[in-house]
Structure 1
């Protein structure tokens, strides 16, 4: 194994260790949506109305039971004043 490969391998391993796995992402995103919605003092119904969704959709997203499409992510972000962060 050459030295360049070893030096490349070390930093990558450190970065990969910090990336949530595919099963954690919906839960983390759902928590971010919940946190921002409650910060705005909105009900799920209010957020659903502003984003053009059903209240049940917001509930599934917040519980991490749904993986929103990019289009839906943009609608949620716009509805929450472009302030969503994970």
Structure 2
């Protein structure tokens, strides 16, 4: 199959997410990280079509659980997250 890929997508991953991606890639003998990402996208999109999730926050889509409070919002005057 000859597919034209004219769009580039840049994704930032945590070290844990990158390790998980590489584990998936090597376990399935994929030639590149890009091939692994395309396969995971295909699997995820197929699953999303079945599940039909609605009302889900974007922070729920991380590879790893970020805890019960998810992301914390920073005080507008600082770069540090709220700790109250």
Structure with the larger RCO, 1 or 2 (CA within 8 Å, 6+ apart): 1
TM-score calculated relative to the size of structure 1:
0.33
TM-score calculated relative to the size of structure 2:
0.33
Q: Which has the higher helix share?
A: 1
